[in-house]
Amino acid sequence: MTQLVPGEAGIGEEQVSQSAPLVRALAVQRLEMIWQACEPHINLTQDDLDLGRKPDPRFVEAGIRVVDRLVGIYGLLKPQASTQDLATESNESLLTMANERIVAIEQRLKDRDKGDIDG
């Protein structure tokens, strides 16, 4: 039997970061399996509903937890930058740059015209 020596056993940060995508995929796969087991007890058929059956609250609770974990893994609750906001910002910056160039060109034309008048 192998003895574990403190400080020599375990997984380091590098191994954790390398295996994170695989572990995340494995967690999603297992959560999907749990959801597949819960779904028939939550989404009842019309025949079940006609017979007066109701969704099993235990499976509903488990389903809620699975969906909550999946939302966390996929980061769906994080604020997302709107593409419209990004487009507006880029349009505003382009407009500002264009105005600056126009002002610079106008100034050069004024300076050139002023030089022609003086000369």
* Each residue's pLDDT tens digit, 63-98: 999 999 999 998 888 887 666 666 666 788 888 888
Q: pLDDT-derived band of residue 9, with 50, 70 and 90 as boundaries?
A: low
The identity of residue 98, as a single letter, is: A
Which residue, among 12, 34, 39, 92, has the nearest Cα to 26 in the 3D structure? 34
On the question of pLDDT at 56 being above 80, the answer is yes
* Each residue's pLDDT tens digit, 12-21: 788 888 888 9
Q: Where are the beta strands (DSSP E) in the chain?
A: none
The identity of residue 103, as a single letter, is: V
Structure tokens at 91: 């349009």
Identify whether the C-beta of residue 77 lies closer than 8 Å to the C-beta of residue 71.
yes
Q: Supply the pTM of this predicted model.
A: 0.55
The pLDDT value given to residue 118: 58
d(CA 53, CA 43): 11
The identity of residue 43, as a single letter, is: N
The identity of residue 108, as a single letter, is: R
Average pLDDT over the chain reads 84
Mean per-residue pLDDT for 31-37? 95
Measured in whole angstroms, the distance separating CA 56 from the mean position of its chain's CA atoms is 32
The pLDDT value given to residue 58: 95
On the question of pLDDT at 61 being above 70, the answer is yes
Percent of all residues in the chain with a pLDDT value above 70, rounded to a whole number: 82
**b/e map 99-109, b = 16+ CB within 10 Å:** eeeeeeeeeee
d(CA 91, CA 96): 9
